[in-house]
Structure 1
């Protein structure tokens, strides 16, 4: 896993170098430093025992929930939304931490729940409360993309925990029926415009459709082999918005072409495949749910970002893991990687005859 991860992050640094007009600052240098710091953090996570990880589940969730409340009280504004806490030395986005935190706490909850109660409402109602509180706080910021990411990771844990399939079918039908109500009464005006743009991006190419139109032009103009490193016109001439964050894949595709895109998707495939292999090899329910949920969280980032920049999903502000510039998203994804490394160490110790406390 580390080999494709290092290649992907290094490739992301090259793309960010180009996005800054051929300069290490302000993107590429900080990108590399953050990755190095969080890689050490991931290495420390691997030392945790199963008992310690389960003991920390509820405290981590509670602290993150308090931070989300703090965002509503004294959060910093940015991009028209209130999502960050200004700590002086960094701007922290607590909603990002909640993505792995919700997976951890739900994995602990279902690992502690007697098997005979999985088909009862006692398996659903506490989990619904654990999910509903952070999702409501994140939607107030407002941040639809992050709230969907929290729900997705949590939903994967619920599904793999063995909750009845009819509950998921019912939730899906209820969600589909609620889409019109959500569009008119729950979404902010700018979010409604994003949905309209997704359905018909050419209707306003210089307004709400500008982002996705320029992204498609950048990706398409790269062709098979790209225009060459540091030769992208869309990003260098400022046609492509956010070339270093949300639309970093479009920046890459313009300069490296289809081959660059295949490399990026292939590297993510290796990392995600390794994550699922770790989950399948796990013997304990907590380990399986934790590894599967963390892998699903990374997958959501990748899938939504790639679909977004190619016009297959509305623009929701989801960065591309290990390539986009951003400390909070890098931290979240490295927490997921560190958690997977931790479960992998438990698996290896068990297979080698060692004992780890349950």
Structure 2
């Protein structure tokens, strides 16, 4: 929590998880962030309560598992986020697709490495466990995250496993290979009206290496839960959740003639592709661009006046930024000072903003990154806009 005091209303304050844990690195080693203590305009105030959600969003769909298989969903209640709880417990971490009912987890598990290699390889979980292990705190967001579930298809956890680059060193890769198709078990007895089965994605070698992609067996220090990919899933930091393949059972080396997978086609428009290309080689990296949104609005009394504290998150992107800004009803962006500073793109940063509305009524809150060099297509489109109703000023 920020400490100190000030009377300014144009104020932002944030606690970034990286300030303690550091920015994740491929070998699991953290870097540390710094920063002075933050002045807090609410330090001498009294919190009166939290506004009842955001207008027009399906709050009932949050925190309760619904559906099954391809239609299994669990949305995180973002309104509960606090600076000391930004790593989400396994039981609360969002679910976009639940365990396939055709998968027998009691059977021995192997990963088949094939395709453009001199000799195929079958790798057991025991052999994988004997390799060098790495851990990293990484945020995942479903590319279809939206207001229908109060934007709750997003969470961060610590993942542990083996770098994909180390696994690929176990085979002799042929010269014509340009990419890696990673696939997982995705057979369900119940068809879905919303999703196409086929849990797989094609990655270029440099994409996997740059991201520090891992095949993980543990989540927050525990074996992967069934709905999160037990016994093995891909984590590719910075990429949308649809690329983080669950129940991984095959790795295939391919060339530029490889067709796009069904999953790549299904999520093309949601991952900033220019089209649903027929060839996997024509896809750009499905990286989450920088984004931000409010997650709750608190009502406070400070010095005899009503003051509102907008608490939000910032995530995604590939660069650190101090250009976060907030808009009300589409007006000019107002800078938000994120303190402690933004220090990692692996996970999210929690920020807050002191606001005194001019009148009761509904307000649309949107965020911006006031730096044209940082891509923010989804943010700029108003995708993460949220509306709040103010009754008292």
Normalising by structure 2, we get a TM-score of 0.25
Greater Rg over alpha carbons, structure: 2
Greater strand fraction, Structure 1 or Structure 2: 2
Answer 1 or 2: higher relative contact order, Cα 8 Å, separation at least 6: 1
Normalising by structure 1, we get a TM-score of 0.27
Greater helix fraction, Structure 1 or Structure 2: 1
